Amino acid sequence: MNKISGYFGKILAVDLSQGNSRVIEFEPEFALQYLGGRGFGAKILFDQLKKHDFQLDPLSPENVLTISPGPLAGTYMPASGKTSFVSLSPATGIYGDSNMGGGFGVELRQSGYDALVLFGKAPELSYLYIDNDKVKIISAPEMKGKTVLETEGLIRRRTQDTGLKIITIGPAGENQVLFACLTGDWGRNAGRCGMGAVMGSKNLKAIAVRGTRDLPVADLPALVKASNEGFALLAQHPMFEFWQNQGLMSVVDYINNVGVMPSYNFKDAYFDRAEKINGYTMEDHYKIGNTACFACPMCCGNICLVKQGEYSGTVVEGPEYETACIFGSNLGVDNFAFVLKANQLCDELGIDTISTGNLIGAVIEGYQEGILDLDDTDGEVLGWGDEKAIISLIEKIAKKQGIGEIIAGGSKRLIQEFPKLSPLISQVKGLEQSAYDARVAMTMALGYATSDIGAHHTRAWPIAFELEAGKNWSMEKKVDLVIYHQTIRPLFDMLGVCRLAWIELGFPEQFYETAFQAVTGIKYSLKDLLARSNRVYDLTRLIITKLGISRKDDYPPERCFIQPILSGPHAGKKLDRKSYELMLDLYYERRGWTKDGKVPAEREKEFSQEPGII
């Protein structure tokens, strides 16, 4: 088998039903087409769906979960510690992916694999242990019901190895809460799309990896030179130190000041008490340290401790902007200590903070508006900023108790049980919206609406750029910006690097071209790499349209068209339906898709006729 640098040429395929594993060796063509990370995952999911005629239950043993970092992960490039998790999402029923920083992916690469694919279902609750070539599926019924940290602790005590990289699901994943997540490095989560539920449905509680191999690099001096330049560039940025101090919490003030911070269940977009939950409050009273993902100088992670009051003793790796907003302004909460408590609870139980906070907001508003009554809410009064009620809901969701059992089914289940709640739920394609208002910047609305996984900003985050500079942009320019984001951001997910350096500190895209060439020895230009990412976007579009997605699902939440923003710099604004329709038409056109948003027939043929990798 031919090899190219940057890849081991190996996928570890674990069959949990049979209790064994095999190594799938792949040719360079596969790597050069799909690059890694999300690319590998999308292809593998497509192959599995094809085998099952696109009739696959996400919580069945037939679903596959691909865990893949990328050829640049762990290679001394700034911020090279990202891993993608790809599967059929139980919450949305379509393509789902999720992204995690920390150090897990690097360890997986060091054990000699470019990807880990999980098939089947273990006969009882188990964990996977990988130590270079050694692969063991270990029965672990004693881990049932254990929190994320308890599980990690059990594994560490057995191996006495603090260097072991472990990702786990919490009780919520075992219970198959549809937005259960995977957690590693204490607080780094593969949050969205219910990857934790998929693992739970496979009876897999944790994956522990130890790897000691050299990572393959074609031209180490070239990589080191480029990376050192990169580190110097980042360190010189005027916002670098501020970024290290506040990390993603710096976004709270920024987003609130420009009037697009969701509050009160996405009804409003400005919070009058934002200073109580912003980065400065965190720095002054709660922050006790920084954490960083592998090789990242930006250290956007925070460690916070509550030293007094009701939540005294709460210590958490976090929060980041999403969690601070979704449990803060979104629920009418102005108590940072409570935000930390909610963060810690979600981390421990293993549920995505974005989906959880979003759905709790919907339920609170539903109760306040009389759509839900005390019978529906298990006799609990639900109010804005009601900390006890929110904690109770979080716990009920994880345990699937009372109304928690309904909320645990995500937007789709909530709408099914309470159809009148539908206009109040901010979601697209069944994935709950993340914490950016979509009524002001059309690019953000389009981004949320056309993201392949649903309403998450991972695919496109053009909101800052449009608000700062886009007053007089043409519709073409807006559409092209969204498409550009949807091409370059997933490219980072295919290479195994973090997009924050690029989006927040202006890290030049050319570096990734230089790094890719240095690591693999393949002379792809940035354009070549972007073309591959674009191709994968067509692939995920093909997957979701074959699973039933069509134009009607490519809209931002209905609320954006109906409910004007109540306060702040953009009070009174809402989305214009006609403009959006035109924009969506243009988007399909620019993408080369048909008028009803399908990839062209030749593209579909191309993917269908491509040999499978699994």
* 246 near other proteins, judged by CB under 8 A: no
CB of 215 to other proteins, least distance (A): 4
CA-nearest of 329, 335, 340 to 364 is 329
Element (H, E) at 48: helix 38-51
Q: Can you give the length of the chain in residues?
A: 614
Rounded Cα gap, residues 179 and 413, in angstroms: 12
Residue 304 in contact with residue 282, Cβ under 8 Å?
A: yes
* 531 near other proteins, judged by CB under 8 A: no
Q: How many CB atoms lie within 10 A of CB 499?
A: 20
Residue 423 in contact with residue 266, Cβ under 8 Å?
A: no
CB of 140 to other proteins, least distance (A): 21
CA distance readout (Å), 297 to 45, 110, 234, 283, 302:
33, 21, 8, 19, 13
Q: Which is nearer to other proteins, 102 or 556 (CB)?
A: 102
The 3-state DSSP class for residue 68 equals strand
CB of 319 to other proteins, least distance (A): 15
Among 159, 244, 257, 422, binds other proteins (CB under 8 A): 244
Dihedral sign computed on CA atoms, order 14, 20, 25, 29: negative
* 296 near other proteins, judged by CB under 8 A: yes
Among 123, 141, 145, 289, binds other proteins (CB under 8 A): 289
Name the residue type at position 583.
Answer: M
Residue 298 in contact with residue 500, Cβ under 8 Å?
A: yes
Element (H, E) at 155: helix 148-159
Q: How many CB atoms lie within 10 A of CB 534?
A: 19
Among 294, 327, 436, 507, binds other proteins (CB under 8 A): 294
Among 26, 76, 127, 448, binds other proteins (CB under 8 A): 76
Residue 196 in contact with residue 188, Cβ under 8 Å?
A: no
CB of 509 to other proteins, least distance (A): 21
Rounded Cα gap, residues 87 and 47, in angstroms: 12
Among 12, 282, 293, 421, binds other proteins (CB under 8 A): 293
Q: Which is nearer to other proteins, 12 or 166 (CB)?
A: 166
DSSP string, 443-504: HHHHHHHH-TTSS-TTS---HHHHHHH-TT--HHHHHHHHHHHHHHHHHHHHHT--SHHHHH
Rounded Cα gap, residues 198 and 176, in angstroms: 7
- Give, as ranges, the residues between 316 and 345 that touch other proteins (CB under 8 A): 317
Among 53, 214, 284, 602, binds other proteins (CB under 8 A): 214
* 103 near other proteins, judged by CB under 8 A: yes
* 579 near other proteins, judged by CB under 8 A: no
Applying CB under 8 A, which part among 92-100, 102-110, 382-390, 408-416 lies near other proteins?
Answer: 102-110
* 160 near other proteins, judged by CB under 8 A: no
Among 299, 526, 547, 614, binds other proteins (CB under 8 A): 299
* 404 near other proteins, judged by CB under 8 A: no
Among 212, 312, 474, 525, binds other proteins (CB under 8 A): 212
Q: Which is nearer to other proteins, 317 or 432 (CB)?
A: 317
Q: Which is nearer to other proteins, 163 or 592 (CB)?
A: 163
- Determine whether 354 is exposed, middle or buried from the number of CB atoms within 10 Å of its CB (0-12, 13-18, 19+): buried
CA-nearest of 87, 78, 43, 295 to 180 is 87
Applying CB under 8 A, which part among 167-175, 211-219, 364-372, 488-496 lies near other proteins?
Answer: 211-219
* 225 near other proteins, judged by CB under 8 A: no
- How many residues bind other proteins, per CB under 8 A? 39
* 303 near other proteins, judged by CB under 8 A: yes
Q: Which is nearer to other proteins, 106 or 128 (CB)?
A: 106
Applying CB under 8 A, which part among 299-307, 384-392, 487-495, 602-610 lies near other proteins?
Answer: 299-307
Q: How many CB atoms lie within 10 A of CB 335?
A: 18
Applying CB under 8 A, which part among 41-49, 201-209, 227-235, 380-388 lies near other proteins?
Answer: 227-235
* 213 near other proteins, judged by CB under 8 A: yes
* 117 near other proteins, judged by CB under 8 A: no
Rounded Cα gap, residues 400 and 407, in angstroms: 8
* 301 near other proteins, judged by CB under 8 A: yes
Applying CB under 8 A, which part among 39-47, 297-305, 320-328, 596-604 lies near other proteins?
Answer: 297-305
CA-nearest of 601, 591, 536, 544 to 43 is 536
Among 123, 124, 220, 579, binds other proteins (CB under 8 A): 220
* 159 near other proteins, judged by CB under 8 A: no
First to last CA, the chain: 17
Which positions touch other proteins (CB under 8 A)?
A: 74-76, 103, 106, 110, 149, 162-163, 185-186, 212-215, 217, 220, 224, 228, 231, 235, 244, 288-299, 301, 303, 305, 315, 317
